[in-house]
Chains A and B, each alone.
Chain A
Amino acid sequence: MRRGPIAAAFRWVCDSSVYRSIVRHGVADTNRNRSLVVFENLFLHLHPVKVREKTLRFRHTYWLGGVALVCSLLLTATGVLLMFYYHPSVPQAYRDMKELQYVVDNGMFLRNLHRWAAHLMVFAAFLHMLRVFYHRAYRPPRQFNWVVGVVLLLVTLLLSYTGYLLPWDQLAFWGVSVGTNMAKEAPIIGEKIRFMLLGGNIVSENALLRFYVLHCVVLPVALLLLISVHIWRVRKDGGVQGPPEEPDDEEAP
């Protein structure tokens, strides 16, 4: 047990009745309290109380899903801050980019962080999928979580893609024009889907507003729900799976 004034103050806070009304367990110094930290926390509850020691090794998962998750948290934080400075209208959207660059304190840093985190998230999610595949972690009982993961990858791509239009510069406009022209080619429903997505026949102010709502509300909520299901099911399906183990103590079939 540590001594000294800071440790004593820490203990005093942790033992106070106000703190204990919020967090019911004491300091996490016994296995019982360590378990309660997980049991009694909505977010940590996605974890099991105990994990297999082996799964903590770096080469087991390379932490790729974790990297994607951290990116999504960072993107939420920077995204909310960016929303304070952004109007989804033409031409104010583009002017806001310039404002971020020249007027807003650390505005450029904020936008950079959001952009690079978005790229990393797409990249990490893709690598995470490959890692899971080559470790054959999609096999029972994890089949459905693989499907959830595929949907998550698609949502990630859509999030990145809807965000791509928001700066309303040439890069954004033509990048999105190229993509939505592809959607047009789908038989029968293609034109209608494109019209619905863009709110018109070309990428316009309506498209900017629709992409903004999708990017800031609809898709993040979908992502949050799916990530929760995804991580919770990892726990329910027996924890993360690393490299498949040879059944070395099995009899040959």
Chain B
Amino acid sequence: MSSIPPLDLIESRDPLATPRRVALVRPDIRPAVRRREERYVMTVPHLIVREVILVQVVVIGLAIAAFLFDAPLEGIANPLETPNPAKAPWYFLGLQELLHYFPPIVAGVLLPTLVVIALVVIPYARINLAAGPLWAGKGRGTALALGAAWGGLVVLFGAFACWPIVAPSLGIAGAMILARGGEKGGRLRRALARVTLPEWIMTWFVTIAVLLTLIGIFFRGPGWSFVWPWSAAPPG
């Protein structure tokens, strides 16, 4: 209901004054706008020098690696002679490991598609934008919903005997329970209490992805049987 103040209050008559911007923003969803003034430096030289150093560090590091380790090369491709096991490149071994537990359409198509869709929608899901600590201001409802969702996941993947997914799921669930009311606990519990739900889910996903990949790289031998890394030929 306030009327507009007189013009000379909004607009400074000092020609040298820096105009100040006024904006109304929601602090929880606009990270680019800050209330505090920040120090800026010139891109040249401050950023450029660091970039040049980065280029040098990466190139020198890789050159040293290229001197020390030779890229693998096996015999010429032979469609008649299938190596056992035939492994995909390391970044796809998590997927190949999934093939061991699920029908090909699930492991090769459904799960990767779901992962890509999940990654793409991250910034558009409300849950990821207004993320506060998992248990902050929430009661039994949240706990029950989460417990049901997590329990469903464990049963689903348990039905396929996919223990590289079940084990981390149980571990993350344990950590989430530990985080509940952890604000007053020790250092670990206080740190856990600050973790948001999107962070729990991403940590769950990354743990599984890394675990599956490591198993695929180091623990799979002939016929995709479980082997110890030291008992099998090193992966290529």
Contacts and interface: CB of A to CB of B under 8 A. Distances in A.
SS class, residues of chain B in contact with chain A: helix
Nearest to A143: B123
Given A53-B40, A120-B62, A138-B128, A70 B54 contact: yes
Contact of B116 (A28, A90, A150, A161): A150
Contacts of B120: 147, 150
Contact of B88 (A34, A179, A203, A247): A179
B217 to A, nearest CB: 12
A239 B189 CA distance: 34
A133 interface: yes
SS class, residues of chain A in contact with chain B: helix
A178 B73 contact: no
A130 B73 CA distance: 32
Contacts of A245: 34
Given A53-B39, A67-B54, A116-B62, A108 B123 contact: no
Contacts of B99: 182
Interface string A38-65: 1000001001111111101000000100
A219 interface: no
B25 to A, nearest CB: 10
Contact of A139 (B29, B42, B55): B29
Contacts of A160: 89, 91
A210 interface: no
A140 B50 contact: no
- Most chain A CB inside 10 Å of its own CB: which residue of B29, B32, B35, B66: B66
Contacts of A187: 105, 109
B209 to A, nearest CB: 9
Contacts of B70: 108, 112
A127 to B, nearest CB: 10
Interface string B1-41: 00000000000000000000000000101111011101111
A163 to B, nearest CB: 9
Interface in B27-78: 27, 29-32, 34-36, 38-48, 50-51, 54-55, 58-59, 62-63, 65-67, 69-78
Interface residues of B, number: 73
B175 interface: no
Given A139-B29, A150-B120, A171-B236, A53 B41 contact: yes
Interface in B74-133: 74-79, 81-83, 86-92, 95-96, 99, 104-105, 107-109, 116, 119-120, 122-124, 128-129, 131
A249 interface: yes
Given A53-B40, A203-B79, A250 B27 contact: yes
A81 interface: no
A34 B44 contact: yes
A219 B82 CA distance: 29
Given A67-B54, A97-B73, A250-B35, A51 B40 contact: yes
A20 interface: no
Contact of A70 (B55, B65, B77, B79): B55
A48 B66 contact: no
Given A34-B43, A186-B105, 7 more contacts: A50-B43, A54-B39, A91-B76, A164-B89, A175-B87, A175-B88, A178-B92
16 contacts: A31-B42, A48-B43, A115-B71, A139-B31, A164-B89, A169-B76, A170-B75, A171-B72, A171-B73, A181-B108, A182-B95, A185-B109, A186-B109, A238-B31, A238-B32, A247-B35
**6 interchain residue pairs of minimum CB distance:** A182-B108, A173-B77, A143-B123, A238-B32, A112-B66, A174-B86
Interface of B: 27, 29-32, 34-36, 38-48, 50-51, 54-55, 58-59, 62-63, 65-67, 69-79, 81-83, 86-92, 95-96, 99, 104-105, 107-109, 116, 119-120, 122-124, 128-129, 131, 198-199, 202, 206, 236
